[in-house]
Chains A and B, each alone.
Chain A
C-alpha cells in the first residue's frame, strides 16, 4: 500500500443557483483544487465524481472544460455518502499503485433536482417510503427515542443548530452566515416534530473537489502533507439487528475500521466534520464515533466540548446545517475543511493546533436497513 495524501482542495460557492450547471460548479471546485495542489490538470491520471440526482458522466462533463480527457473516469452514487465514496475510491486506486494522482469531485444541483423543497424520500418503490418515510421523518423518530432514552430536550437539538451557525458565521463559504438563538431555532416552522426548519440543512447547490496523490508524487509539491491514515465505507445492516434507533451500527463499524487502520482512538481526534443534515442526528454520531461513552452524548453537547473553542469541535465549517448540503458534494467538502484545519489555514474558525481530523458521512434509507452507507476518513499531519 502506498501512503496517500490530500494535495489540494477546492469548494465552489454554496447557495441556491438554479442557473448554474454542474460543469460550472464542479469546474470551479476542481480548478481551485488543482491550483491548490500546484499541479497541471494534465497530470491527473484518474477522476471519481459523485452526484445523486440526474447523474450521467459527471466527471467528464466537468473535466472536459479543464483540458482533462483520455484518462480513467468513474462516476459513483451513494446518497449523502457519495462524495466520501468518490474520495475513498480514488484513495484505494492510489494506495494500490494504479495511479499516482487523481481528483475526486462531489457536485449537486439541489434546486433543480426532483426533490427541491421536498422531504428527501427513499427509492420510489421502497415500502417504508410509500408509507411516508423520508430522511427528516426518520431522524425525527430517532430524536423522539433520544428524548426517551437519553433525556434529550428540544433545547438540546436546537443547540446543535445554534452551534453550527456560530461556526458558519465565521466561514466565508457558508450558505448562511447568520447566528440564531435556541429560541429562534425552536420558534421556526415545525417540519417533523421535534425537528424545526432551522434544524434541517437547507437546499443547496454546490461542489467540492480534492486532489489526492501518493506520498511519493506529493513530495515535489508539499513539505507538510496531510495524510489519509484511515478510510472506510460500510453499507447498512438489517434494522432488526439493532436494539434501538439511537445508534446506527454501520456508523459504529465505519468508525472502528477507520480508527483501526489509522492506529488511533477517538481520544486522539482534534476536530470532526460529520453528517448533520438534521440537528438531532449529531448526538447519535457522537456516540457512534466514540467521542463519548454510549448514553452520554447530551452531556457532551451541553459541556460545550464540541462547540467553538471546545475540546473537540464538531463541524467547525458550519456543518450541513449552516454551510449547506449539496448531497454528493458534502462527502468531499468535509475533506476540504479538515485539510484546511490541519494546514492551519481555516481562518476565524481554526481549531488551534489540530493534527488529527475525522470526516464522517452517512447516506440513504431503505426499508429494513439502519441506513444506506457510512464512511469515515481520518486525516493526519
Chain B
C-alpha cells in the first residue's frame, strides 16, 4: 500500500502503533477485572463505572476462519475473516490476511497487523487484521 495518501484510523481508541509493534486497546474494569474489546463506557460484566485502558498486545490464537466468496461492503470476494482469541481470553471477530504455506487452522498463532483495509472519503482507513505468525 502507498503512504502518499492520507490515512485515518477506522475508529479512535481501538489500537495504537508503536516502535515495538501494534497493539489492540481494551478496557479493564478496576472492580472485577473484566477486559473488554472495544473498550466500553462501563463494565459489561459488573456494570462498574471505572475502566482503565490496557494493551492487548499483538499476539493471538486463531479460533476459526472462513473465506467469504461474496463482496461484503468494504471487502471484495475472496476475503478471509475469523475469530481470534487474545491473551486473557478476549475473543474478537477480525479480518485475516492469508499467507502462503500457512493455511488457517484452529489454534495457530496469529499476529496483529494495522493496515489500510478500505478507502473512505479519499483516505485510506486503517484497521486491524491478523496474519499467521
**Residues of A at under 8 Å CB distance from B?**
118-119, 121, 127-134, 136-137, 140-141, 144-145, 148, 189-194, 238-240, 245, 367-368
Interface SS of A by simple majority: mixed
CA distance A181 to B91 in the complex (A): 36
Contacts A128-B93, A148-B64 given; indicate if A240 touches B38 (C-beta within 8 A): no
Interface SS of B by simple majority: strand
Flag if B64 contacts A132 (CB, 8 Å).
no
Flag if B106 contacts A130 (CB, 8 Å).
no
Instruction: Output the nearest chain B residue to A244 by Cβ-Cβ distance.
Output: B63
CA distance A137 to B77 in the complex (A): 13
Contacts A130-B10, A131-B95, A133-B93 given; indicate if A144 touches B44 (C-beta within 8 A): no
Interface size on B, residues (CB 8 A): 30
Contacts A148-B106, A239-B91 given; indicate if A132 touches B73 (C-beta within 8 A): yes
Max chain B C-beta neighbours (<10 A), residue from A118, A128, A144, A148: A144
Which chain B positions have C-beta within 8 A of A245?
Answer: 63-64, 83
Flag if B70 contacts A192 (CB, 8 Å).
yes
Instruction: Output the nearest chain B residue to A144 by Cβ-Cβ distance.
Output: B64
Flag if A131 contacts B93 (CB, 8 Å).
yes
- B45 at the A interface (CB under 8 A): yes
Q: Taking the nearest CB of chain B, how far is it from the CB of A359, in angstroms?
A: 29
Other-chain contact of A193, B67, B73, B83, B106 (Cβ < 8 Å): B67
4 nearest A-B residue pairs (beta carbon): A144-B64, A140-B66, A128-B93, A192-B68
Q: Which residues, 66 to 88 on B, are CB-close (under 8 Å) to A?
A: 66-70, 72-75, 79, 81-83
- B7 at the A interface (CB under 8 A): no
Which chain B positions have C-beta within 8 A of A118?
Answer: 70
Q: Taking the nearest CB of chain A, how far is it from the CB of B11, in angstroms?
A: 7
Other-chain contact of A145, B38, B64, B69, B93 (Cβ < 8 Å): B64
Q: Taking the nearest CB of chain B, how far is it from the CB of A121, in angstroms?
A: 7
- For this complex, 25 residue pairs linking A to B, each with C-beta atoms less than 8 Å apart, are A119-B72, A121-B73, A129-B73, A130-B10, A130-B74, A131-B93, A131-B127, A132-B73, A132-B79, A136-B70, A137-B68, A140-B68, A141-B64, A141-B82, A145-B63, A148-B106, A191-B68, A192-B66, A193-B67, A239-B91, A240-B44, A245-B63, A245-B83, A367-B38, A367-B93
Which chain B positions have C-beta within 8 A of A368?
Answer: 36, 44
Which chain B positions have C-beta within 8 A of A131?
Answer: 81, 93-95, 127
- B65 at the A interface (CB under 8 A): yes
Instruction: Output the nearest chain B residue to A196 by Cβ-Cβ distance.
Output: B69
Q: Taking the nearest CB of chain A, how far is it from the CB of B106, in angstroms?
A: 5
Max chain A C-beta neighbours (<10 A), residue from B11, B72, B95: B72
CA distance A238 to B47 in the complex (A): 13
Which chain A positions have C-beta within 8 A of B70?
Answer: 118-119, 136, 191-192
Q: Taking the nearest CB of chain B, how far is it from the CB of A191, in angstroms?
A: 6
Contacts A141-B83, A240-B44 given; indicate if A190 touches B69 (C-beta within 8 A): yes
CA distance A140 to B38 in the complex (A): 23
